[in-house]
Amino acid sequence: MTESTAGLTIVIGSYLEADLVARIAAAPPVAHVAYEPNLLPVPRYRCDHNGRPRDLSEGELARWRSIAAAGDVFFDFDWLDPAGMADLAKHGRLRWVQATSAGIGGFMQRTGLDRSGLTATTAGGIHAVPLAEFAVMGALHFVKGVPDLRRRQQARHWERYTTRQLAGQRALVVGLGGVGRRVVASFAALGLEVWGLGRDGRSYEVDGLAKVIARQDLDAVLPSVDVVVLACPLTEETEGLMGRRQLGLLPPDAVLVNIARGQIVDEQALIDQLRAGALGGACLDVFATEPLTADSPLWEMDTVIVSPHSASTVATENEALTDLFIDNLERFADNRLLRNRYEPADGY
């Protein structure tokens, strides 16, 4: 521990269970934890890190600003004025913020924090298991014909039929970070041949991955892919990656799973392909506009699973985030490399 990291003040910026707050307070570099849940947004569900804003008085808002200004480290961003954290870093004590989300690139750019010099770390890897489970669920849902089974059940119609098998099919996982690697492992364990698309110019050694393709080869391989899982960050290179042409190249029984960001897919083109029966199904946790508008055709399609950007949120998320934060606190105190450090040049 360096002299400058002894006695850190930690500000917790979103709701956290009392036992987890106590664990953070007991970490060696911590002198004080500022946690006042009555000043934080009200969680709408377990492990909600956004929440419903409170109707706070001017005095309460002033108190929160005072708490924020005294923090050396934030667990989650300042809910009241995230862009103002740039000034806290430049003129105040703030040195590092631990995010509770893996995909913070767009947020950092919108708030200008990507240009502030503030050190930020993401929750990369925390959500890998639930997102991989969601991807497997989506693929199985359509390959095993669950929509048709539901229709038969509702009609009380008993008739034997033939289904497809997921094992032996080919999956393409776009994005080979922590989430993508877990998706690869999950699909490979089910007997699929798994291909991957990462960032050009990088090498990938991923267990269960049969082949890595380059961005320029995407169009050429799509006609031979049965399942596409989007697990990549939103960057200039990935925005619109699955456009009308790419969706049109997929086989008519193919399944698209998006656990990345909505802007990676041409949503209208996806709707058109599904309406035409040119895709087997789409399992979507993210959308171009969120919340998904009430008039979106996606709501009523049997060939679509709509998830309200919640596939990553499980009941044990806060425990895992606390483990990551405490590990990074120890690294911070020892002046070691932080896990999941956000790199503005990469956008994630």
Task: Give how far Cα 301 sits from Cα of 63, 206, 292, 309, Å.
Answer: 48, 35, 14, 18
Residue 36 contacts by C-beta under 8 Å, 6 or more apart in sequence? Answer: 63, 64, 67
Residue count (the chain): 348
CA 217 to chain centre: 26
Task: Give how far Cα 165 sits from Cα of 92, 223, 320, Å.
Answer: 58, 19, 34
CB 264 within 8 A of CB 230: yes
Q: For tokens 């005095």, name the residue.
A: 59
Active site residues: 261, 290, 309
Q: What are phi and psi of 148, to 5 degrees?
A: -70, -40
